[in-house]
């Protein structure tokens, strides 16, 4: 295993771990993200699905397939998250240290996974 492979696996494990927190601890995740549930509590299912199991599935899929294209797909998901976050920061006046930090992490993971694995596709 190369150092490059090790970093890909570490990113997948991080993705799964963060996804599990969103899936299994949606209330805690929502507190960390400064989110609140409304009268229907739909927010909990949304966090469990979109911030939780979606990322568990992405990370597991990349680990199981272990192909360059699978790693690129995970990178594209992070690129989508980074794009959504930065547009919201600008559009919704949602700039904060936490928002910019999350954006930087998502953008960095996207760049690593897409640029590092795309030439091998």
**Greatest CA span in the chain, whole angstroms?**
50
Residue-level pLDDT at 48: 96
36 dihedral zone (left: phi>0; alpha: psi -120 to 50; beta): beta
Residue-level pLDDT at 121: 64
Note the pLDDT tens digit of each residue in 51-89.
999 999 999 999 999 999 999 999 999 999 999 999 999
Note the pLDDT tens digit of each residue in 15-49.
999 999 999 999 999 999 999 999 999 999 999 99
pLDDT for 119 beyond 90: no
Residue-level pLDDT at 1: 86
Which of 45, 49, 107, 39 is CA-nearest to residue 77? 107
With H, G, I as helix, E, B as strand and everything else as coil, classify residue 41.
Answer: coil
Count Cβ atoms within 10 A of the Cβ of residue 91 and give its class: 0-12 exposed, 13-18 middle, 19 or more buried.
Answer: exposed
């Amino acid at each position: 295993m190369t150092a490059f492979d090790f970093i890909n696996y570490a990113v997948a494990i991080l993705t799964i771990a963060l996804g599990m927190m969103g899936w299994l601890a949606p209330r805690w995740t929502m507190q960390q993200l400064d989110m609140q549930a409304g009268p229907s509590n739909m927010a909990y299912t949304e966090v469990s699905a979109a911030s939780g199991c979606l990322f568990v599935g992405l990370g597991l899929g990349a680990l199981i397939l272990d192909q360059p294209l699978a790693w690129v797909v995970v990178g594209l998901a992070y690129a989508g998250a980074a794009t959504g976050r930065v547009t919201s920061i600008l559009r919704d006046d949602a700039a904060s240290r936490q928002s910019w930090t999350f954006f930087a992490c998502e953008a960095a993971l996207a760049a690593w996974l897409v640029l590092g694995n795309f030439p091998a596709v």
